[in-house]
Structure 1
Amino acid sequence: MNYFEPHLTPDELRAISAIGLAHMGDAVYETLVRTWLCVHGKATGKELHRTTIALVCAQKQAELAQRVLPQLTEEELAVYKRGRNANVHAMPRSATPAQYHAATGLECLMGWLYLRGDKERAEQLFRAMMEEE
């Protein structure tokens, strides 16, 4: 197994819980955000951390998810819904339950794409989310 370039089978992906996929997707999404900020020179120093936090919070993820939902395939939408409908036990006070569930759906999708080895599609969706930022 190459952990930098994972390529899990459909059966292996189905065996991972929605929360597990969202856990992976959280890291993938934050890495993309940090890369995007550095490449575009959007922030430096202390502001870099603040801007990252603003883009990875549940409210922003829920907003950005709405931009790409119409572009998802049936399979991707099913993965998003799997994450959105996951039974989460802790929710931040800064987000509504709907926002948190939508953010979890987005993270689940990003984790699923990464673990199946489809970084190109994850990149395509991320670009669509960040177009107006």
Structure 2
Amino acid sequence: MENYFEPNLTDDQLRAISSIGLAHMGDAVFEVLVRTWLCAHGKATGRGLHQATIALVRAESQAEKAERILPLLTEEEAAVFRRGRNAHVKSVPGHATRAQYGEATALEALLGWLYLKGRRDRINALFRAMMEE
């Protein structure tokens, strides 16, 4: 790969990445999107910005946002989402239920998959749907 800012992996390359690997990538993608959204909307400054970011990237919030976009997913996206939800995680944070953590992991896996596939347009559309108030 020559440009790590704009990856575009093949389907075979994407299938070789574990669900946890996709979620790892998607976690970073989601956090960048949340930070951008907060800055662009003037939602907070300084310490408040950090606290607002944490509130949005927590598993409970991600699970709620995942529910908003489930009806919008294509069959292929839904399959990636299910694959992420079924990932075997070793521990769950105390503030989230296992179900919430599974949904959050699924959302992150989907975002990671879309990012590595080069589908920033689709990520943006789904993120906008997640953040509608």
TM-score by length of 2: 0.99
| Residues 1-133 of structure 1 mapped to structure 2, 5 A cutoff | 1=1, 2-132=3-133
Deviation (angstroms), 1:17: 0.1
Spell out structure 1 runs of 4+ moving beyond 4 A: none
Contiguous gaps of at least 5 residues in structure 2:
none
Residue deviations 1:26-79, cap 9 Å, x none? 000000000000001011111000000000000000000000000000000000
TM-score by length of 1: 0.99
Distance in 2, matches of 1:3 and 1:22, equals: 17
Distance in 2, matches of 1:14 and 1:90, equals: 24
Deviation (angstroms), 1:90: 1.4
Letter of the structure 1 residue corresponding to residue 66 of structure 2: A
Distance in 1, matches of 2:121 and 2:34, equals: 15
Contiguous gaps of at least 5 residues in structure 1:
none
Identity %: 70
Letter of the structure 1 residue corresponding to residue 16 of structure 2: A
Number of equivalences: 132
RMSD, aligned α-carbons: 0.4
Distance in 2, matches of 1:74 and 1:119, equals: 18
Distance in 2, matches of 1:37 and 1:127, equals: 13
Letter of the structure 2 residue corresponding to residue 28 of structure 1: V
